[in-house]
Structure 1
């Protein structure tokens, strides 16, 4: 069944494509209802631009709202970077225990000029105490995800290359993602040379990670373990019952907040949920919106109601 819904959220026109695998879904009529509830909730935030992609690996349910619209990727671009690092490990171009000299000096993609990161603008100030020392690749991966370390991210991009991370994402079917550069390249930002993504592309990557189609079993397991250790859990995880495992990566810049997750309800296969938001100046409003979207999807996927955190 395919149902096309249309609505306007702020200035962004959302095409909601809802589909399901007929043999697997017991209640396909509920998908349009979910799309309607999500659209109504998004419309309650004036001016918001929001994209949602939902993939249920148990039933085949699939729902997209604005899923092909490009957003600034913020820190969600660390997912394809991690994929490329682990693929490089599998190809024996790198080792997880390989030590890298950690430097706070990077080159702008605009003109090759040097720039450095400010610990005060990074969510992981601890990494800056290790500048000038040799740090294992495994540690850089961990900090890039669980604390969203920009310094660790740029060190890994310098190691494997943004172009390789971009190629890997495209090869896996995430063909609209653009991984161009490291974090805080001010000249590139001013020139509009930004990392971008769509909710559909992040959903593709997460689904392929979960199905062990993006990496070998050991690397996929490690990636999932690290994503499960994410320490910033105020968005999608806050919309599901406490204790529910959620492997995810958040991202934020000014007036922009994202979360991309694999959610593991007890006793059934997981589902993928990606929510991208922008033009919401108050981050608490954006966070509440993502939490509510997560709650609505949880209720649809599991058939159980849940009062999200903070309610």
Structure 2
């Protein structure tokens, strides 16, 4: 876990490498907007979604019609708000896994590695996985929110996408989302429960990443993350509500 608050920061095993699960989609989001700013891609570029190669696990594209064309902005939105794995794999193909890894190097992410696509069971059987750490994710969230590497327009779009998150049963679950902005991204695999978020209340901003593995069942992990979210929420609105 790693938390950065307006007045202080702390972490517990924040520099430990974990299986990233869907938190790997945060650096992919950053690379989409980096390439869009550089003119290598346009968010309005059209991408055909072939029926073959669609994957499940999370998302909606796997169950939609045979003939489907979406924009890159549509894909990145689906990747974040419903964690769509087909959209993620198409973006990896379009951006290039090497470019995504170079972005991780540029931002000095010590543990974040994209080594396989989503739902690549063959790779997983051979021990090939994606990795990150809580402190790496905090770095990504801060770059996304306030990093000078991105224009105000790009940062605003990324924050808007994060804020449309549909999976809100972890960090946001005990917050009054009418009072605060929260943009989060979850991750799950067997025995793994993750969530990360940017939380804003008036002039205060908190960045938080909670990564939990080794779970025998998932509910305890989700409840722990929800409790942490509630504590951060209470801290932000204290004396200011």
Determine the structure 2 residue equivalent to 1:283.
218
Distance, in Å, in 1 between the alignment partners of 2:215 and 2:165 is 24
Structure 1 residue 127: deviation in Å? Answer: 5.1
Identify if the C-alpha distance between structure 1 residues 130 and 222 changes in structure 2 by more than 3 Å, giving closer, same or farther: farther
Larger radius of gyration: 1
Identify, as 1 or 2, the structure richer in helix: 2
Structure 1 residue 117: deviation in Å? Answer: 4.2
Determine the structure 1 residue equivalent to 2:19.
72
- The answer to whether the Cα contact below 8 Å between 2:97 and 2:114 also exists between their aligned partners in 1 is yes
Determine the structure 2 residue equivalent to 1:82.
29
TM-score with structure 2 setting the length: 0.92
Identify if the C-alpha distance between structure 1 residues 79 and 207 changes in structure 2 by more than 3 Å, giving closer, same or farther: same
Determine the structure 1 residue equivalent to 2:186.
250
TM-score with structure 1 setting the length: 0.72
Identify if the C-alpha distance between structure 1 residues 164 and 104 changes in structure 2 by more than 3 Å, giving closer, same or farther: farther
Matched, 1:142 2:77: yes
Determine the structure 1 residue equivalent to 2:125.
190
Deviations 1:132-153 (A, max 9, x none): 4321111101111111100100
The secondary structure found in structure 1 opposite 2:64 is helix
The secondary structure found in structure 2 opposite 1:224 is helix
Distance, in Å, in 1 between the alignment partners of 2:121 and 2:167 is 25
Distance, in Å, in 2 between the alignment partners of 1:86 and 1:69 is 27
Quick one: which of 10, 13, 29 aligns to 1:63?
A: 10
Matched, 1:93 2:40: yes
Distance, in Å, in 2 between the alignment partners of 1:287 and 1:157 is 28
Identify if the C-alpha distance between structure 1 residues 157 and 130 changes in structure 2 by more than 3 Å, giving closer, same or farther: farther
Determine the structure 2 residue equivalent to 1:221.
156
Structure 1 residue 191: deviation in Å? Answer: 1.6
Q: Is there any run of 5+ residues in structure 2 with no aligned partner, and where?
A: none
Deviations 1:8-34 (A, max 9, x none): xxxxxxxxxxxxxxxxxxxxxxxxxxx
Cα RMSD (Å): 1.9
Structure 1 residue 126: deviation in Å? Answer: 4.3
Q: Is there any run of 5+ residues in structure 1 with no aligned partner, and where?
A: 1-51, 106-115, 305-311
Deviations 1:145-198 (A, max 9, x none): 111100100010010112211211221132320112210111211121111000
Matched, 1:54 2:3: yes
Structure 1 residue 212: deviation in Å? Answer: 3.1
Distance, in Å, in 1 between the alignment partners of 2:75 and 2:231 is 35
Once the two structures are overlaid, the 10-residue window that deviates more, 161-170 or 141-150, is: 161-170
Quick one: which of 176, 191, 214 aligns to 1:241?
A: 176
The secondary structure found in structure 1 opposite 2:140 is helix
Aligned residues: 239
Identify if the C-alpha distance between structure 1 residues 215 and 104 changes in structure 2 by more than 3 Å, giving closer, same or farther: farther
Distance, in Å, in 1 between the alignment partners of 2:123 and 2:64 is 27
- The answer to whether the Cα contact below 8 Å between 2:204 and 2:236 also exists between their aligned partners in 1 is no
Distance, in Å, in 2 between the alignment partners of 1:160 and 1:199 is 24
Structure 1 residue 270: deviation in Å? Answer: 0.9
Q: Which has the higher contact order (CA 8 A, sep 6+)?
A: 2
Deviations 1:218-268 (A, max 9, x none): 111111100000000011111333422211111101111110100012x22
